[in-house]
Amino acid sequence: MKKHVSRLIFSLIAVILSVCFLMGAGAEMANLAEPLVIDLDLSNMSGTVVYAQVYNMMCDPDSYLGKVIRMAGYYNYFDDQAHGIVYHACIVPDATACCAQGIEFVWAGEHLWPDEYPEIGTDIIVTGRLELYEEDGMKYLHLVDAELTWNQEIKP
Amino acid sequence: MIDQLRTYLNFPFVQYALIVGVLIALCSSLLGVTLVLKRFSFIGDGLSHVAFGAMAIAGVLRLTNDMLFVLPVTVLSAVLLLRTGQNTKIKGDAAIAMISVGALAVGYLLLSLFSTSANLSGDVCTTLFGSTSILTLTQAEVWLCTGLSLAVVLIFAFFYNKIFAVTFDEDFARASGTKAEAYNLLIAVVIAVIIVLAMNLVGSLLISALIIFPAMSAMRLFKSFKSVTICSAVLSVTCALLGILISILWSTPVGSTIVAVDIGAFLIFCTIAKIKGGIAK
């Protein structure tokens, strides 16, 4: 009888653990599959408006922090060899093309640079959540968990 | 396109640009008629270059609000320019030319030597051509522009008769007891204020267009001072609005788009005047 009870308890624990595991994995899968809900889509706006909007985001970041932003621009990077960090950015030039605003992004997942990244100047679309981070006492903005798309057939 | 425009109009910076653009266009057109009639069309160009030089100094000194420095310097230059213009040793046009190119050269020199900006050419381009600076105004700048613009309109409305008298016949105005020097000074100060405001809209190189074109267009069709001033104001505001909307819809530089619309309006007015002249004959 005791044997049956202990078997039952073990079975119950196994079932509970399995359910918990499956629920956790399911939630994780749901997280992975869940598309980002875009709060501010700049990808279909005119260059002048996008430039001004990005400028405003840089000047008043508090109003935009945590929002999911999609923007179109061209790809550029900065290789900080002193710290061993490569910063990736989506750049938006103004109408006269003498000034440019850019937002740094962190591509979600593991991606090998430079092989898997677009070439400099490639038109890209980035979607990510705007966050503030601090480095060497300075505050910077970047789009995290970013989705990056570009036409891989067209080379600049 | 209408939906897109509606979306853009919801952005605060687009609303600010439209408010400030309309106010600056209104102010510049009001004084534009006086300046064209007094043969002072190029004073705007000279003062705008002075404002560029002052802006460069403000940038080098790292002043957070450069308008507080640029405005007094430009006003002072306007007063000096007017006084130098009356001096027989240096004629008015030579004085304007000297101050204009001198300030431009010194401004760029200072920027090149002392600027800490990572994008010097961008800064210069923005100041000279306006770029998108009208779309990057802060709320405080909008309030300052609104206040100064209202002051300009009130001064023009209050001293309309005196400005009219000084514009058309300065000697007669002086003989009839009007303090012509004082009113010339007032006009110079108001012009300096307009120049500083308009730098945000079209940049320092294109300001003269904002002052001259609406007045010249209005003069094609109307003959009295009042009708020319009213037509110039309406035309200037319409062109500024159209220019800003075109630039945000089709991603063109704001300043040059406004000036291009002004040129288009001038050509249309010239054509209408020719047709009317032909019919009258």
B81, B82, B87, B93 alpha-carbon torsion, rounded to 10°: 60
Cα dihedral sign, B79-B85-B86-B87: positive
pLDDT band (50, 70, 90) for residue A28 = very low
Which pLDDT value is given to residue B55? Answer: 83
**Could A51 and B135 be called an inter-chain contact, meaning their C-beta atoms sit closer than 8 Å?**
yes
Distance CA B228, CA B130 (A): 28
Contact yes or no for B133/B196 (Cβ under 8 A): no
Helix crossing, B180-202 with B207-221: angle to 10°? Answer: 110
pLDDT digits (tens, 9 = 90+) for A12-25: 555 555 554 555 44
Q: Does B248 touch chain A (CB under 8 A)?
A: yes
Give the nearest partner residue to A47 out of B4, B13, B251, using CB atoms: B251
Chain B residues near residue A52 by CB distance under 8 angstroms: 11, 13-14, 132, 135-136
DSSP-derived 3-state class of residue A46: coil
**Could A48 and B13 be called an inter-chain contact, meaning their C-beta atoms sit closer than 8 Å?**
no
Q: Which residues of A touch B (CB under 8 A)?
A: 45-49, 51-53, 55-56, 59, 94-96, 98-100
Q: Which residues pair with A135 in a beta bridge?
A: A138
Q: Which fold has domain B2-274?
A: ABC transporter involved in vitamin B12 uptake, BtuC (1.10.3470)
Lowest-confidence region among A128-137, A147-156, B31-40, B93-102: A147-156
Interface of B with A in 135-194 (CB under 8 A): 135-136, 138
Distance CA B22, CA B24 (A): 6
The secondary structure of B207-263, three-state, reads: HHHHHHHHHHHHHHHCCCHHHHHHHHHHHHHHHHHHHHHHHHHHCCCHHHHHHHHHH
**Could A96 and B253 be called an inter-chain contact, meaning their C-beta atoms sit closer than 8 Å?**
yes
Element (H, E) at B182: helix B180-202
What percent of chain A clears pLDDT 90, i.e. is strictly above it? 10
Answer with the residue of higher pLDDT: A80 or A31: A80
Please report, for chain A, the start and end positions of each structural domain, with discontinuous segments joined by +. Answer: 1-34, 40-150
Which pLDDT value is given to residue B266? Answer: 94
DSSP A114-153: TTTSPPTT-EEEEEEEEEEEEETTEEEEEEEEEEEEE-TT
Lowest-confidence region among B22-31, B85-94, B185-194, B197-206: B85-94
Which pLDDT value is given to residue A27? Answer: 44
Give the nearest partner residue to B8 out of A49, A59, A94, using CB atoms: A49
Which pLDDT value is given to residue B262? Answer: 93
Q: Does B120 touch chain A (CB under 8 A)?
A: no
Which pLDDT value is given to residue A7? Answer: 64
pLDDT, chain B, mean:
83
Q: Residue B156 is encoded by which pair of tokens? A: 């023009």
pLDDT (average), residues B21-33: 88
Q: Residue B234 is encoded by which pair of tokens? A: 């309406």
pLDDT (average), residues B123-133: 69
Chain B residues near residue A94 by CB distance under 8 angstroms: 131-132, 253
pLDDT (average), residues B78-96: 68
Give the nearest partner residue to B251 out of A46, A55, A100, using CB atoms: A46
pLDDT digits (tens, 9 = 90+) for B52-62: 888 888 878 77
ipTM surpassing 0.90, yes or no?
A: no
What is chain A's Cα-based Rg? 22
What is the count of residue pairs from A and B with beta carbons less than 8 Å apart?
Answer: 66
DSSP-derived 3-state class of residue B176: coil
Whose structure tokens read 């002193």? A82
pLDDT digits (tens, 9 = 90+) for B229-256: 999 999 999 999 999 999 888 888 888 8
Give the nearest partner residue to A95 out of B8, B11, B253, using CB atoms: B253
DSSP-derived 3-state class of residue B131: coil
Which pLDDT value is given to residue A129? Answer: 92
- CA nearest to A103, candidates A116, A112, A90, A117: A90
CATH tag for A40-150 (out of 2.40.50.140, 1.10.510.10, 3.90.76.10, 3.30.70.270): 2.40.50.140
Cα B131 to Cα A3, B17, B51, distances in angstroms: 83, 13, 16
Which pLDDT value is given to residue A32? Answer: 47
pLDDT digits (tens, 9 = 90+) for A63-122: 888 889 998 888 998 888 888 888 999 988 776 666 777 889 999 888 888 888 888 888
Which pLDDT value is given to residue B270? Answer: 94
Which pLDDT value is given to residue A20? Answer: 47
Q: Which residue of B has its CA nearest to A51?
A: B132
Chain B residues near residue A51 by CB distance under 8 angstroms: 132, 135
pLDDT digits (tens, 9 = 90+) for A42-55: 888 887 888 888 88
pLDDT band (50, 70, 90) for residue B269 = very high
Whose structure tokens read 């935009």? A64
Please report, for chain B, the start and end positions of each structural domain, with discontinuous segments joined by +. Answer: 2-274
pLDDT digits (tens, 9 = 90+) for B139-182: 888 888 889 889 989 998 898 888 888 888 878 888 888 888 88
Contact yes or no for B145/B31 (Cβ under 8 A): no
**Could A95 and B132 be called an inter-chain contact, meaning their C-beta atoms sit closer than 8 Å?**
yes
Q: Does B117 touch chain A (CB under 8 A)?
A: no
Residue B96: other Cβ atoms inside 10 A: 23
Q: Residue A47 is encoded by which pair of tokens? A: 């260059």
The count of C-alpha atoms lying within 13 angstroms of the C-alpha of B255, restricted to the half-sphere facing its C-beta, is 25
Give the nearest partner residue to B13 out of A45, A56, A99, using CB atoms: A56
Which pLDDT value is given to residue B120? Answer: 67
Q: Which residues pair with A70 in a beta bridge?
A: A41, A127
pLDDT band (50, 70, 90) for residue A11 = low
pLDDT (average), residues B40-45: 77
Which pLDDT value is given to residue B179? Answer: 84
pLDDT (average), residues B40-61: 82
Q: Which residue of A has its CA nearest to B8?
A: A49
Q: Does B64 touch chain A (CB under 8 A)?
A: no
Return all residues near B3 (Cβ < 8 A) that are at least 6 apart: none
Which pLDDT value is given to residue B191? Answer: 84
